[in-house]
Amino acid sequence: MFFKRKPSSVPALGEALAGRDKEMPVASEHFVNGAALKGPYPEASETIYFGMGCFWGAERLFWQLPGVLVTAVGYQGGQTPNPDYDEVCSGQTGHTEIVKVVYDPAKISLETLLKTFWEEHDPTQGMRQGNDVGTQYRSAIYTTTDAQASVVAASKQAYEAALGQRGLGPITTEIRPAPDFYYAETYHQQYLAKNPRGYCGLAGTGVSCPVGVGVAAE
């Protein structure tokens, strides 16, 4: 599917592509660790969603962290049900590329996950990450509990202050309770494990995420 020009803003309700009722077929197991991609997950685990631009490199960051049980890539934050990759890239679904992170809070803290999130991309760029331009590359955090939301808010405040001291900011990351998550095609799942020389456009700001004020080192 080819779209000549991407919109620079998320389409309003009723303006997005129609999508479909059928879910995207996806592999049953994580390519790297063999865990069940769609669950069931351990009872004590928690889930949070991160958008950092292209989801290939972002997913690799998280599956490498001890205490992360499962990662998966998909589409979130828009109106189109069960979109495919071409539709998301058109900018006409409203979705951003997302990494689903299922973690054991007894083994890795949310603060540690957030430190990785903030430092490994530029959360000040709006509808882009570097040369990757479009609504599907916007920065996002989608939470699943009130406790997560509180920690995320504190970390944003702390990191925004640190960015400001370096002449950067404000943070444009979309932060809200998690909307529907749609798994991306199997081809995209754990892409850089299957294609070690594949594209990764991640680039942070070089500003360290402060320890304290809700952001603690592991």
Q: Which residues are catalytic?
A: 54
DSSP string, 125-174: SSSEETTEESGGG-EEEEESSHHHHHHHHHHHHHHHHHHHHTT------E
- Secondary-structure breakdown of the chain: helix, strand, coil percentages, each rounded to the nearest 5: 25, 20, 55
CA distances, 202 to each of 33, 45, 54, 109, 116 (Å) = 23, 27, 8, 23, 12
Q: Which two three-digit tokens encode residue 119?
A: 């430092």
Closest C-alpha to 142, from 49, 45, 47, 46: 49
CA angle 213, 217, 218 (to 5 degrees): 135
Q: Helix (H, G, I), strand (E, B), or coil: what is residue 4?
A: coil
